[in-house]
Structure 1
Amino acid sequence: MKIDLKLTQIIIIVILFIFTFSNVAMAQTITGDPLPSWNEGTNKQTIINFVENVTDPENPNYVAPELRIATFDNDGTLWAEKPMYFQAAFSLSRIRELAPKFPEWKDKQPFKAVLENDQDYLANITVNELLEIAMVTHAGMSQKEFEQEAKEFLDTAKHPRFNQLYKQVIYQPMLELLTYLQNKQFKTYICSGGGLDFIRLFSEEAYDIAPENVIGSNIFKTYEIVSNHSQFIRQPQLIEPINDKAGKPVNIERFIGKKPMLAVGNSDGDIEMMQYTVIEHQPSLALLLHHDDEIREYRYTKGTEKALELAKEYNWKVISMKQDFKQVFSFTSE
């Protein structure tokens, strides 16, 4: 068979061109801005420098992939927490349904606030009160029944201000940070004071974090087989410690068994997790999200006062939503 040398040369040139172009495109993707919704500044550069250093085998601060652990709080860190915790919103209708069976609720907080629609009280509900509501309103039912109720809420309920599904009121810059870390072989975990079972229902869809990588507060369950069907029944008792404040490091050690090298939070409930991350542990980085943008989200410091003070002592990076976030949500919130 006669071979056309000129045609062969053309084919080789085309193949080389495609190969070179593909490598350039790949290099542009790799070297592109990993955090496009963050404004340029010290905090953004600190994050990028940290991640690039610990993932560069030639860097003295290099850390092997199996030790690249990052923990994120959820409420107020990955998604909004105002005007009230989203899980509390989920439980409110259930309280009203059950109220006739519990007349004492009309004089007992936080149930009194729910029944009277006391928005000022509910806006400042504590993690412990949230868990009490979740425990009382969803105990006695099967895990499957709970999941069906929660999924219906997450698929239909909308935020009262932004008119978006609650599961869409997520901070775009934090999603980018999660993706950046995941692409750099970090193992990303949620470490929240909120209910474990509730967060697991949307963590994979929302954050690309598998259910087994969620650490949260939880209640006891019993295991039963009924009519040849296995099920878990939710019991009115919390498993200690609650995953808040000093409970966070305890549960991180219990469920991960390794110290995080990056921790992200937004409140006094995250102090111990961030201390645990940075004390006697280098390289490490802790980020504290500060809600100071009343135009695009909310402005508040209540419940974060101590964390803001300790940030100076421990060199935690305070992320200003107003200054550091070019965009807050995937939708326009202004």
Structure 2
Amino acid sequence: MIFQKTYLRILSMLQVLLILVCFTSLVGCGAQKTKSLSQYWATDSEAAQSLEAYVKKVTNKKDNENFIPEEDRIAVFDMDGTLTCETYYTYYDTMMFINYCLEDHPERVSDELKAAAQEIKPGYTAGEELARNFAKAYAGMTIQELYDYAVEFGQKETDSFNNMRYIDGFYLPMVEVVKFLYDNGFTIYVVSGTERTTTRAIIDNSPIKDYVSPSHVIGTEFEVKVKGYEDVSSNMDYKYADGDELVITGGFIQKNLNANKTIWIEREIGQRPVLAFGNSGSDTSMMNYVIDERNPYPSEAYMVVADDSEREWGKQDWTEKSAEYREQGYVPISMKNDFLKIYPDTVTRADEQYIESEDAAAARIAIPKEKLISFVKRQSYSI
């Protein structure tokens, strides 16, 4: 009898404990993770504090005025200069084009494309003509081959930073932001001027690969057709079948550069995001679209200012830029003051940013001078 009573008492205590555990678990599941941005952000960062307060507000179910359902928590990020390094020698798709033409596969491209690659120098403008040259360089490759080359190129070390591979150029504080938002129920989209396949390759091999679905990468596109039908004027004459390979034709479809970003957010996401992150004038239309008064939810936009000339190659004036961005309704982020650490400890800024490789110099010499001069004269407006 005593044993039975003791057994029942223990059983009762276990049941109570189990109920408490279950209750705690249920409460925990309903609460959002709103830990602070502390690992790579300054403790007095206005931008970090603003984002933390915003997330806490919109994930609080008891805040009827500001709560945003999880399915509507969408954040859009520009890529180059916002998530990743955008210095001349670490700018991914431009340097990939230069390496492809002058070092890795010069036998596959025309003298004109070599001339275009050779003439790109710091301060160049990445216009539409340059993007068309990218498309021409990769003509004949399948999508998978371009993806694989983008990953292969990413293993090369940059000249702007010591010990940094191109694919490692993600800013640690921005990686922390992406994870912070993901942990709080946000869906992350990357809206990039870089070609979509290349962007996916970069993200798939980056610190944010677990937080961004491949289907959530929006970018420009090279014209693609089924292999064997490259010269057919329209893809409507046949249908893709299992086993068909998609081939890059050398044409270029401009989709979302500059103001067009908002169009493709509307088409591919189908609703206004509630958060936007950018770093330049080409991102303002996307950011204005997010913070537009017609957005049914509270929204914010953050602009990264490249003002760190010690750890980065940033030359922007913080006072001028931050005032300009605040006036437009954005929260400015200072790379110099808000970012505690930009890259891993093993990465340091090089003494010199522009270094011409021996292979590139040899390729320049190999191009017939008359072709180089002629091509540069015709194309100088675009690079």
TM-score by length of 2: 0.73
Residue 151 of structure 1: CA displacement?
2.0
Query: 1:293 aligned to 2:308?
Result: yes
Q: Check 1:149–1:180 CA distance in 2 against 1; reply closer, same or farther (3 A cut).
A: same
Distance in 2 between the 1:278 and 1:268 partners?
Answer: 16
Quote the residue 1:118 is aligned against.
Answer: none
AA matched with 2:197: D
Residues 72-151 of structure 1 correspond to what in structure 2 (within 5 A)? 72-84=77-89, 85-96=91-102, 97-98=105-106, 102-105=110-113, 110-114=116-120, 121-122=121-122, 124-126=124-126, 128=128, 130-151=130-151
Instruction: State the secondary structure of the residue aligned to 2:191.
Output: strand
Instruction: State the secondary structure of the residue aligned to 1:315.
Output: coil
Q: Check 1:127–1:172 CA distance in 2 against 1; reply closer, same or farther (3 A cut).
A: farther
Match 2:342 to one of 320, 328, 331: 328
Quote the residue 1:174 is aligned against.
Answer: 174
Residues 206-221 of structure 1 correspond to what in structure 2 (within 5 A)? 206=206, 207=208, 208-221=211-224
AA matched with 2:6: L
Worse overlay, 141-150 or 66-75: 141-150
Q: Check 1:7–1:167 CA distance in 2 against 1; reply closer, same or farther (3 A cut).
A: farther
Residues 17-96 of structure 1 correspond to what in structure 2 (within 5 A)? 30=33, 32-41=35-44, 42-59=46-63, 60-84=65-89, 85-96=91-102
Q: Is the 8 A contact 2:266 2:272 kept in 1?
A: yes
AA matched with 1:283: P
Q: Check 1:244–1:164 CA distance in 2 against 1; reply closer, same or farther (3 A cut).
A: same
Distance in 1 between the 2:265 and 2:320 partners?
Answer: 22
Residues 126-275 of structure 1 correspond to what in structure 2 (within 5 A)? 126=126, 128=128, 130-154=130-154, 156-160=155-159, 161-206=161-206, 207=208, 208-224=211-227, 229-241=243-255, 243-275=256-288
Q: Is the 8 A contact 1:138 1:146 kept in 2?
A: yes
Q: Is the 8 A contact 1:69 1:188 kept in 2?
A: yes
Q: Check 1:9–1:105 CA distance in 2 against 1; reply closer, same or farther (3 A cut).
A: closer
AA matched with 1:5: T
Query: 1:318 aligned to 2:332?
Result: yes
Worse overlay, 96-105 or 314-323: 96-105
Backbone CA RMSD of aligned residues: 3.4
Instruction: State the secondary structure of the residue aligned to 2:227.
Output: strand
Q: Is the 8 A contact 1:200 1:211 kept in 2?
A: yes
The answer to which structure, 1 or 2, has the higher relative contact order (CA under 8 A, 6+ apart) is 2
List per-residue Cα deviations over 1:176-208 (Å, max 9, x = no partner). Answer: 111111111111000011111001113244212
Residue 145 of structure 1: CA displacement?
2.0
The number of residue pairs the alignment matches comes to: 320
Instruction: State the secondary structure of the residue aligned to 1:38.
Output: coil
TM-score by length of 1: 0.83
AA matched with 2:340: K
Q: Check 1:98–1:288 CA distance in 2 against 1; reply closer, same or farther (3 A cut).
A: same
Q: Is the 8 A contact 1:287 1:316 kept in 2?
A: yes
Q: Check 1:64–1:210 CA distance in 2 against 1; reply closer, same or farther (3 A cut).
A: same
Instruction: State the secondary structure of the residue aligned to 2:344.
Output: coil
Q: Check 1:75–1:101 CA distance in 2 against 1; reply closer, same or farther (3 A cut).
A: closer
Q: Check 1:101–1:284 CA distance in 2 against 1; reply closer, same or farther (3 A cut).
A: closer
Residues 303-314 of structure 1 correspond to what in structure 2 (within 5 A)? 310-314=324-328
Residue 244 of structure 1: CA displacement?
1.9
Worse overlay, 323-332 or 244-253: 323-332
Instruction: State the secondary structure of the residue aligned to 2:336.
Output: helix
List per-residue Cα deviations over 1:215-257 (Å, max 9, x = no partner). Answer: 011111002379x84100102222233x221110011111111
Worse overlay, 275-284 or 193-202: 275-284
Distance in 1 between the 2:220 and 2:322 partners?
Answer: 24
Distance in 2 between the 1:294 and 1:209 partners?
Answer: 30
Distance in 2 between the 1:175 and 1:199 partners?
Answer: 16
Structure 2 alignment gaps of length 5 or more: 230-241, 349-383
Instruction: State the secondary structure of the residue aligned to 1:58.
Output: coil
Residue 299 of structure 1: CA displacement?
1.6
Worse overlay, 246-255 or 232-241: 232-241
Q: Check 1:77–1:95 CA distance in 2 against 1; reply closer, same or farther (3 A cut).
A: same
Residue 329 of structure 1: CA displacement?
2.0
Q: Is the 8 A contact 1:142 1:233 kept in 2?
A: yes
Q: Is the 8 A contact 1:167 1:202 kept in 2?
A: yes
